[in-house]
Structure 1
Amino acid sequence: MDDRNELLEGLRLDRRPAGTKGRGPGRFVAIGLGALALAAVGVGAVLLWPPAAVPVAYAEVRAPDKAAGAGATASSLDASGYVVARRQATVAAKITARVTEILIEEGLHVKSGQVMARLDDSNTLAALAQARAQLAQAEANRSAARTALRDEEPIFRRREGLSRQGWVSGADLDEERAKYDAALEALSVAEKTLDVARAALAVAERNQEDTIVRAPYDGVITVKAAQPGEVVSPLSAGGGFTRTGIGTLVDMDSLEVEVDVSENYIDRVRPNQDAVVRLNAYPDWSIPAYVIAIIPTADRSKATVKVRIGFRKKDDRILPEMGARVSFMAAGGDAGLNGVQKRQGFLVPLGAVSGQGDTAAVFVVRDDHVERRPVALGARDGQSQTVLSGLNAGETVAVGDLSLLRDGVRVVRSGGG
């Protein structure tokens, strides 16, 4: 009987509304238990298989006096800039003409007055010949005027004497005086005309000389800007068919470095202060230098002040537009060179610092985990960075690929140390 009832119960149709099927507290309990199970599995996976530790090098935070012996000079400030030439010119022609000969190449050393190029001088030669002919004509006219005056003067003097004796009438004397005055005026005009002809000849000779382009000073050609057959002009004519220069000439003895120093640190820089320049092309080469001048104006868009740095020794390896880093030096002791105070703060390797300015930070190692700590940066000294605040001497910082690190990330010392 029981089996028959169970069979009939299984064949009974479920007439409840579709929206009420399966709804009840048991369903929600099952969902909650499933979520808790998944969370437990995740926590267990983290505990049993923690994320791999990031390999980094460790470095100790050092005090400046520990890093450099007493009395040693250290950088009070670092700044980046470029090598520039104080004397650099695009040598151009004074007239518009076609180039007939170019006598320069890049890298050529030239002397002041050396010919760099020659221009078409057919027109200027014709003008010069005309000016010389006009000068010859003016000289001939003056000679004729002098002869006429020389002939007229004794006649006038004789008539003047006879007039005083009463042998010549006043009308005849006036006529002769007019001729004499006309001869004097003709000579004066001839001499002025001669002056004009001489000036015109000087202009023609100057125009002829302007067809020869010469170096204004000793230097090295860095850019060859024109070729034979091209037209050069002192002014840009547009269209790209007219050159405005023959080439760029750089006085290598005028090379210096220009850097932009933050106005917050400009008080650490003084005129004639010792400095060291390191070129990006030769990072291991320390070049003795000094502060030439601090430009007395600030760039408000960048909050910087431009500083000029001169080289104490010239070298052929120093080239214009090279990138450079300048370390402004301060002597050890209570006060540095030119009154710059001894550097404060602590030293860490450059590779331990992430970011710059307000975003600068280091990762301090604590029990195999790192703590991201914002810091205030000072000057660089070679491969070390001065940290003014945010660190203490003896702490350990991570050095390496800092992009892999976050606050709390587990690290392992490179090499298993």
Structure 2
Amino acid sequence: MNDKSELLQQLTIDRSETSTTRSIKVWHLLLFGALCAGLAYVAGSRPQVPAAGTEPVATREEIAPAARAEPAPNPTPAPTVVPEDNTILSSSGYITARRMATVSAEIIGLIASVTVEEGMTVTQGQILAELDSSLAQVDLDLARARVSVLEATRDGIAANLEEARRTYRRVSTNEFSSDADKTGALSTRQNLSASLKAARANIRVATLEVQRQQERLADHTIRAPFGGVVTVKNAQPGEIVAPTSAGGGFTRTGICTIVDMQSLEIEVDVNEAFIGRVFAGQAVEARLDAYPDWVIPASVIAIIPTADRAKATVQVRIGIEAEDPRILPDMGVKVQFLKS
């Protein structure tokens, strides 16, 4: 029995001993934490010595007062160069030719030859093409032959009239002539005189017909109406040309297009809100899109007195004061209207 009591006492947990041990452990932890905090404080307050070969790094507290005390000066801006701009308005347009024509024939006909090519310079009256003129030549020859026949008839009537006049004078002076002879001679003379007038009138009509046939024949030769440069060749030998479109793909309405390079000018559309800044004779500087660094002197020729309702613009004609082969029709150009 005593042995069992001793065993039970050994198995019983001592509550007082456990509480005391737990309190000792808590105090040990608190002391260890306080010691660590003290060491950290001492280490933080000690000045840091930079390692060899490195530069000291300023703390935030050192930088802030310096920045507040001495603000960094603003950099001096570069001087601004203001160009002397004499432009009051800018616009864009195209090079146009005042004298440009698509040359055609006045009659319908078969093209026999074309004597020009693109890029050729032609003079006024130069032959550009010729049509088949065989029928026109025949008509001219017939008209001339008719004139020759009428002239021969006129000469015969004139000779007969001269003879009738001599007969009438002889009969009139002969006292043995009867009144019937005198009347007959007078009538013959008058009839021949009238026939001679009719023959002369017919000759004039036939002569006019010859002139018309000559002009018709000349229409088969197409000439340049003015001097310029051929920019487009529209027809080839063997094709049919007509003054107006006759339908079909084998009828041409023009032989070639000629441009007078001395009539080139600039056409621009100016917004109607700014048209008041433009006036005739105003100086203009033009720059071709193909040569943007080349300044072309120009001046305003005229302001077209009508506005485009759809675009709200007014067209302005500008004359080019410097002729140059680099300036070509339909080139894009930018212009600047100057103040003076």
TM-score by structure 1 length? 0.61
Q: Is 2:80 the counterpart of 1:68?
A: no
Partner in structure 2 of residue 218 of structure 1: 227
CA–CA distance in structure 1, aligned partners of residues 160 and 245 of structure 2: 54
* Count of matched residue positions in the alignment of Structure 1 and Structure 2: 263
- Secondary structure of 1:142's counterpart equals helix
Alignment of 1:330-345 (within 5 A): 330=339, 337=340
Residue 202 of structure 2 is matched in structure 1 by 193
Quick one: distance in 1 between partners of 2:94 and 2:323?
16
**Counterpart position of 1:90:** 102
Structure 2 residue matching 1:107: 3-state secondary structure:
coil
Q: How far apart are the structure 1 equivalents of 2:83 and 2:169?
A: 103
1:279 aligns with 2:291: no
Higher percent of residues as strand: 1
For the pair 1:313 / 2:322, whether they are aligned, the reply is yes
Aligned-partner residue type, residue 248 of structure 1: T
SS at match of 2:199: helix
Q: Distance in 1 between matches of 2:82 and 2:199?
A: 88
Of 92, 105, 114 in structure 1, the residue corresponding to residue 126 of structure 2 is: 114
Q: How does 1:5-404 map to 2 (within 5 A)?
A: 67-69=82-84, 74-162=86-174, 165=175, 167-330=176-339, 337=340
CA positional deviation for 1:134: 0.8
One-letter amino acid of the counterpart of residue 263, structure 1: E
For 1:149, the aligned partner's letter is L
Distance apart, 1:161 and its partner CA: 3.1
Distance in 1 (alpha carbons) for counterparts of 2:149 and 2:304:
59
Structure 1 stretches of 4+ with a deviation exceeding 4 A read none
Separation in 1 of the partners of 2:259 and 2:297? 22
Shift of 1:225: 0.3
Residue-by-residue CA offset, 1:89-117 (whole Å, 9 max, x unaligned): 00001111101111111100001111111
Alignment partners' CA distance in 2, 1:297 and 1:156: 79
Aligned-pair CA distance for 1:148: 1.0
Give the deviation of 1:240 after TM superposition. Answer: 1.8
Q: Counterpart in 2 of 1:375?
A: none
Letter in 2 for 1:273: Q
Aligned partners of 1:77 and 1:157: how far apart in 2?
Answer: 95
Summarize deviations over 1:63-99 as a string: whole Å, max 9, x none: 9xx5224xxx611111111110000000001111101
1:381-402 deviations in Å (ceiling 9; x for gaps): xxxxxxxxxxxxxxxxxxxxxx
SS for the counterpart of 2:193 is helix
Name the SS of the counterpart of 1:141 in structure 2: helix
CA distance in 1, matches of 2:227, 2:109: 25
Q: CA deviation at 1:202?
A: 0.8
Structure 1: 5+ residue stretches without partners: 1-59, 331-336, 338-417
Q: Which has the larger radius of gyration?
A: 2
In the alignment, the residues of structure 2 paired with residue 306 and residue 295 of structure 1 have an alpha-carbon distance, to the nearest angstrom, of: 6
Q: Which runs of 5+ in 2 are unaligned?
A: 1-76
Q: Residue 345 of structure 1 corresponds to which residue in structure 2?
A: none
Alpha-carbon distance, 1:302 to partner: 1.5
Measured in 1, the distance between the counterparts of 2:307 and 2:178 equals 90
- 1:191-248 alpha-carbon deviations (Å, 9 max, x no partner): 0111111111111111111111111111000000000000001111011220000000
**Partner amino acid, structure 1, of 2:83:** A
1:171 Cα offset (Å): 2.9
Give the distance between the partners of 1:246 and 1:98, measured in 2 at CA: 12
User: For 1:202 and 1:119, how far apart are their aligned partners in 2?
Assistant: 19
Q: Alignment RMSD, CA only?
A: 1.7
CA–CA distance in 1 between the matches of 2:97 and 2:240? 28
How much has 1:175 moved relative to structure 2?
1.8
Letter in 1 for 2:98: R
Identity among equivalent positions (%) equals 45
TM normalised by structure 2 equals 0.75
